[in-house]
């Protein structure tokens, strides 16, 4: 961002218009607010109760997050561990794989 400011200043005899300064400041504040963390698996539960139960399980909550009412997001690389623990609790989780359309 500094290089952009320096370039604009050199093209504007030193002063950047206020509206552009506000725009650049806004961009600087938003640059690192969202980060890509990788892939994940999305599971749909039969009902909201099951999603709540699994996402709050003390062993599973470090592996997944609840999304909306009936969905669970399982972290990439944690699918097998999630399936094993869910199976120990009596749930059958299908192999996590890409759904074909």
Q: Taking 70 as the threshold, does the pLDDT of residue 96 lie above it?
A: no
What tokens were used for 100?
């074909």
> Residue 90: left if φ>0, alpha if ψ -120 to 50, beta else—which one?
left
pLDDT, residue 97, reads: 63
Indicate the pLDDT class of residue 100, thresholds 50, 70 and 90.
low
pTM: 0.68
List, in sequence order, every residue forming a beta bridge with 65; answer none if it has no partner: 73
What tokens were used for 27?
């961009």
Indicate the pLDDT class of residue 8, thresholds 50, 70 and 90.
confident
3-state secondary structure the chain: CHHHHHHHHHHCCCCCCHHHHHHHHHHHHHCCCCCCCCCEEEEECCCHHHHHHHHHCCCCCCCEEEECCCEEEEECCCHHHHHHHHHHCCCCCCCCCCCCC
Domain range summary for the chain, segments of one domain joined by +: 1-34, 40-88
- pLDDT tens column, 16-45: 888 988 999 999 899 889 998 889 999 999
Q: Taking 90 as the threshold, does the pLDDT of residue 15 lie above it?
A: no
């Amino acid at each position: 961002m500094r290089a952009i400011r320096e370039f604009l200043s050199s093209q504007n005899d030193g002063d950047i218009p206020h509206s552009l300064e506000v725009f650049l400041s806004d961009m600087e504040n938003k640059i690192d607010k969202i980060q890509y963390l990788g892939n994940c698996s999305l599971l749909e539960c039969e009902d909201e109760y099951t999603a709540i139960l699994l996402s709050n399980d003390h062993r599973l909550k470090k592996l997944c997050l609840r999304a909306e009412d009936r969905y669970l997001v399982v972290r990439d690389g944690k699918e097998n561990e999630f399936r094993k623990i869910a199976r120990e609790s009596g749930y059958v989780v299908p192999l996590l794989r890409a759904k074909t359309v």
